[in-house]
Structure 1
Amino acid sequence: MREYSENKETCGTICLKYLLFTFNFFFWLAGGAVMAVGIWTLAEKSDYISLLQSNTYMATAYILVVAGVVVMITGILGCCATFREQRSLLRAYFILLLCIFLLEIIAGILAYIYYQQFFPVNPQLNAELKQNLKETMTKKYQKEGEEGVTSAVDKLQQEFKCCGSHNYTDWSDSDWIKSPEAKGRKVPDSCCKTITTNCGTRDHPSNIYKEGGCITKLENFIQEHLKIIGAVGLGIAFVQIFGMIFTCCLYRSLKSEPY
């Protein structure tokens, strides 16, 4: 009976080892996906967010990058701990899983806070945020030392096919448009459907993007991106639950290390 029990325990341990190894393989791939989402956000989309004067979205992206790196390292450590059958490595692995889980919770909270900032229930606060974008675009565009804002505004208007914060008439309040440097432009050239030099001098619908402002399209972009961040975080957190369960089971099945 004792021999049968030992064999059964050994088979159970072997199954746990392969389950944990399979988990770590997919966990490592998931870490790469998380890191890729964070890097993509920082590399491609952060300039848009800088126009809204908030660091919360950037912090969320950095947390995703850090979490992705830690996940990949943890996956490798998990494989080593599984096949070497060392309880100390399994403990370290479990602690790292827990830390990643906490990082994901923090990223989720920050994403929720950011969502509330830009899509609040209070319409007055939402109007203030839109007004802030308008002021950023009209007061800082083409100003010395604000080259990052100028580049971000041009990229925003071209990629989202929009003009101004609310609409193209916002540019009539622009310090740059009122200055001689604008050379008679009514809107920046980046508002044009086909960019040519001084094309912003003509604000006809056939020439510029008149319908809709950039703030609405930027809000839609943020909403969709927050959904991606949330989905990735929830997916990794769900997978981690199984990893922590497998780790605890394997830890208990192994005999204590000799000290």
Structure 2
Amino acid sequence: MGEYNEKKETCGTICLKYLLFTFNFFFWLAGLAVMAVGIWTLVQKSDYISLLPSSMYAATAYILVIAGAVVMVTGFLGCCATFKERKSLLKVYFILLLCIFILEILAGILAYIYYQQLNDELKQSLKNTMTMKYKQPGEDRVTNAVDKLQQEFKCCGSNNSQDWRESVWIKSPESEGRLVPDSCCKTVTTRCGLREHPSNIYRVEGGCITKLETFIRSHLLIIGAVGLGIGFVQVFGMIFTCCLYKSLKSEPY
């Protein structure tokens, strides 16, 4: 009867080992995906981050990059701990899983919070950013972001093209009499902003605020879903780790 129990425990341990190894393989791939989403957000969409007064959007992306990198290292460590059956490595692995879980849940929560307050923040800040910083010394990043925003989303001004009448640059001699920046034009040419007729410039209901808000909200949903989704999967990894640890602890040395 004792031999049967010992074999049964050994069989269970083997099953747990391969189950945890399989989990770590897919966990490593998930870490790669998480890090890719974070890097993509920071690299491809970094221009728009300069238009936001809050750093929360960037913070969620940085958290995903860090979490993704740690996930990949942790996945490798988990494989080593599983096959070497080292309880000390399993402890470290479990602690790292817990830390990553907290990071990704934090990213999901931050994304959700910012999702809720985004509309008010954009209404309060985007118009001021566009009119006060566009084409001003030391504000090249904002200028490029505004030009890219208006061209990519086919919009003009924060709420509408009339917002540009309050622009510091439009009122200055440097604008050469433009009524809107050239990036408002449907076909961009030098000084095309001298004419603000609907046939020449973009006039979108809601202006660039609506376009930028929709864009950022969609990305926040992706960031939040990725963070919370991977975090949920990690719970199973922690359960498998605890089970394997207890199984190894009960085995004779």
Q: What TM bracket, shorter-length normalisation?
A: over 0.9
- Offset of 1:58 from its aligned partner? 1.1
Distance 2:65 2:26 in 1: 18
Q: Deviations over 1:190-243 (max 9, x none)?
A: 111121111111212222111231111111111111110111012101210110
User: 1:72 offset after TM fit, Å?
Assistant: 0.5
Equivalent residues of 1:41, 1:61 under 8 A apart: yes
Question: Residue 235 of structure 1 aligns with which residue?
Answer: 229
1:235 and 1:11 map into 2 onto residues whose CA distance is 31
Which whole-Å CA distance do the structure 2 matches of 1:138 and 1:14 have between them?
65
Task: Give the 4+ runs in structure 1 shifted more than 2 A.
Answer: 255-259
The Cα shift of 1:130 comes to 1.3
Task: Quote the offset at 1:65 in angstroms.
Answer: 0.5
SS at match of 2:249: coil
Quick one: which of 176, 182, 189 aligns to 1:183?
Answer: 176
Matches within 5 A, 1:102-113: 102-113=102-113
Report the Cα distance in structure 2 between the residues aligned to 1:104 and 1:92, rounded to whole angstroms. 18
Corresponding residue of 2:151:
158
1:254 aligns with 2:224: no
Correspondence for 2:128 = 135
TM-score, L = length of structure 2: 0.95
**Pairwise CA RMSD:** 1.7
Cα distance in 1, alignment partners of residues 246 and 64 from structure 2: 32
Counterpart-to-counterpart distance in 2, 1:57 and 1:40: 13
Which whole-Å CA distance do the structure 2 matches of 1:195 and 1:218 have between them? 21
- The CA distance in 2 between the partners of 1:75 and 1:41, in whole Å, is 24
Q: Is residue 2 from structure 1 mapped to residue 7 from structure 2 by the alignment?
A: no
| Structure 2 CA distance for aligned equivalents of residues 223 and 112 of structure 1 | 10
Q: CA deviation at 1:114?
A: 1.3
Aligned residue identity for 1:135: N
Change (3 A) 1:245 1:185: same
TM-score by length of 1: 0.93
Deviation at 1:107, TM superposition (A): 1.2
| C-alpha distance in structure 1 between counterparts of 2:124 and 2:162, whole Å | 14
CA contact (8 A) 2:31 2:68 kept: yes
Identity value in percent: 78
Partner of 1:192: 185
Q: Work out the CA distance in 1 between the residues paired with 2:49 and 2:211.
A: 12
Q: Distance in 2 between matches of 1:24 and 1:96?
A: 13
Name the SS of the counterpart of 2:159 in structure 1. Answer: coil
Match of 1:145, as an amino acid? G
1: CA distance between counterparts of 2:107 and 2:252? 40
Gap regions ≥5 residues in structure 2: none
- Residues 177 and 185 of structure 1 are in contact (CA less than 8 Å); yes or no, is this contact kept in structure 2? yes
Residues 40-88 of structure 1, C-alpha deviations (whole Å, 9 max, x = no match) = 1111223213212111111111111100001100000000000000000
Task: Please state if 1:223 is matched with 2:217.
Answer: yes
Write the distance in 2 (CA, Å) between the matches of 1:99 and 1:186.
53
Q: Would you say the 8 A contact 1:87–1:257 is kept in 2?
A: no
- 2:89 alignment counterpart: 89
Q: Is the contact between residue 36 and residue 65 of structure 1 (CA under 8 Å) also seen in structure 2?
A: yes
Contact 1:74 1:97 in 2 (8 A): yes
Of 217-226 and 71-80, deviating more is: 217-226
Deviation of 1:256 (Å): 7.0
* Contact 1:87–1:256 under 8 Å retained in 2: no
**Does the CA contact (< 8 Å) of 1:160 and 1:214 recur in 2?**
yes
Is 1:118–1:219's contact at 8 Å kept on the other side of the alignment?
yes
Specify which of 198, 210, 214 is matched with residue 205 of structure 1. Answer: 198
Structure 1 SS opposite 2:186? coil
